[in-house]
Structure formats: structure tokens, C-alpha cells
Amino acid sequence: MRAAIEERYGDRAEISESFGETTVDVAPGDWLDLLTFARDDLGCVFFDWLTGVDDPPGSFEVVAHVFDPVRHAHLLLRTRVPREAPVLPSATGVYRGADWHERETFEMFGVIFEGHPHLESLLLPEGFEGHPLRKDFVLASRVAKPWPGAKEPGESGQGSPSRRKTLPPGVPAAWGPQAATPPPTRGPRAVRREDAPGSGDAPRKPSGTAGDGRDQAGRDADG
């Protein structure tokens, strides 16, 4: 399989192997040709899945997994699209099963698949704005609810500030209610002994100590 891919694409494809699975990276211009070649020439007639990967700061990866059921060979196909213009030809003309997966990738990452027959929302409610699986997307629930990682185990709301971050991952410091919330303050300090009421009195020596016995013996000798 590797030799056939190298013969067809040469330096235009980057091929790697891991745990018995071959991965092929190509430019967006070779994306549909690679999918067609995998289906018709390499025997990968079974389409498994397609998804996106946010790879900041500059690009998104589009990844497809196909399978040869005769030789039990797995093939992972990847390409990159720029973040400023995430556009890629639709794979629905090669694998019909890509329809649902491209719609999900469009919805979650914002990658536009040109030529898709029905590129519309699939899972999110109507009117939802943004792409939730992008790493720069702020999840409102993380801002509205206390973040469990903000405090060490056993710390109370009146305790000292935690050594951990007080904001959940992915939430900017100047976003949401936290922007108007002052930083946590230290709780009341423990009262020192010298500051306690009655601390000016002379300390009382506990009875029954060895020192008391020696003082009493000295007084008896003097008397």
C-alpha cells in the first residue's frame, strides 16, 4: 500500500506508519484524488469516519479513516486547511457516508465543504452561534458555574487563594462574570496569644510541676 501511494504522489504525500496503520498527508488540492485512489486502487471501500482537528494558530486538520475489508488494512488520510479560509471539496461524491460527518465537522469547526448537497446544522439548536470544538470557543457553562479546579481539595470559600488557576481552561480573564469579580481575599487570621483578651496578665504556672516541688522544699528549709 505504501509503495503504491509513493509511486502515485511522490513528494506530494507524506506517509507514516504507526501500530499497523498507514497515515497519508496531502495538500487540499490532492484531497479528493487521494480519497478516490484509496477507494478504487487500494481497496479501501469502507468509509469509517471523517472529522476535524483544531491546530492553532494557523490551520484545521481534516482527517478521514477508511478500511480495506479484504486485507484488513487501515488508512488514515489527512489534509490541512488555513484558519482564515477553511474550505475543502466535499468527499460525498467518493464516499456517500461522508455526508453526515462533513455536516458535523462544518458545524463544530466551521470547515466549509464545497459541493456538499446539504451543508446545514446537524446537532446544535437553531440560532446557535459559533463552533464549539474550536479551541478559542468559550463555553458559557464554564463561566457561569464554579470551576472545580479553582481550589485545592479541602479549601473553603473563605480560605486562602488557591495556587491553581481560578479560571477554567479556555476562558479568558476578561470574559463573562469573572471580569467584574474581585480576586479572592484571605480569610480572617488566627488570633495570636499576645493579642487575645487578658493577655496582659502574668502567665499562670500549672500546678503539680517539678518546679513547684522544688520551690516548696526551699520554703520548708527556710522556715
Query: pLDDT tens-digit profile of 22-73?
Result: 999 999 999 999 999 999 999 999 999 999 999 989 999 999 999 999 999 9
Residues 6+ apart with CB under 8 A from 30: 9, 12, 13, 79
Question: Do 112 and 24 sit in the same domain of this protein?
Answer: yes
Average pLDDT over residues 164-185: 54
Please indicate, yes or no, if residue 39 is contained in any of the structural domains.
Answer: yes
88 plus 146 within the same structural domain = no
| Total domains, the chain | 2
Does some domain include residue 184? no
Q: To the nearest whole percent, how much of the chain has pLDDT over 90?
A: 54
Peptide bond into 172 cis (omega under 30): no
C-alpha cell at 108: 463544530
Indicate whether 18 belongs to any domain.
yes
125-153 per-position pLDDT tens digit = 988 889 999 988 887 766 666 656 555 55
CATH of the domain at 21: 3.30.460.80
- Asked if 106 and 143 sit in the same domain, the reply is no
The pLDDT-based confidence of 190 (bands split at 50, 70, 90) is very low
Q: Is residue 24 part of a domain?
A: yes
Placement of cell 478500511 in the chain: 67
Contact indicator for 122, 105 with CB cutoff of 8 Å:
no
Domain co-membership, 11 together with 107:
yes
More confident residue, 142 or 111: 111
Across residues 185-193, what is the average pLDDT?
47
* Judgement on whether residues 98 and 144 belong to the same structural domain of the protein: no
Say if residue 42 is exposed, middle or buried (CB neighbours under 10 Å; 0-12, 13-18, 19+).
buried
State which residues form the domain around 173: 138-151+159-178
Q: Do 33 and 110 share a structural domain?
A: yes
My answer on whether 172 and 71 are in the same domain is no
Say how far apart CA 71 and CA 125 lie, in whole Å: 42
Do 44 and 144 lie in one domain? The reply is no
Domain presence at residue 197: no
